[in-house]
Amino acid sequence: MASAFSESALREQEPIITFWIDHMIDRLKALYTFLKLILLLIMSKAGMDSLMAPGQFAIEKTEQHIAQDADACKDFMRQVLRLDA
């Protein structure tokens, strides 16, 4: 009986938990973008323009990995929250 109560309570909270996870992932992406812009600004002010081209490629690859990891994390958490499996 106690497990049925906790499952129903968790099912009621699922939209809130899913929203919170999505929100936190979006905040982490925004933080990463902010830090990337600061790094590029520092590099340009320090006269490291020749280093920006390879750095830009690495940043784009990192952004792709972050997007893939964020999507995988969202999918995993949605699977975890499904209690009917």
Going by pLDDT thresholds of 50, 70 and 90, the confidence category of residue 85 is very low
pTM: predicted TM-score of the whole model, two decimal places? 0.45
Domains of the chain by residue range:
2-81
Q: What is the average per-residue pLDDT within 5-22?
A: 76
Name the H helices within the chain: 2-45, 49-81
* Predicted confidence (pLDDT) per residue in 21-76, tens digit: 888 888 888 888 888 777 777 766 666 555 555 556 666 666 677 777 777 777 77
- pLDDT recorded at residue 1: 46
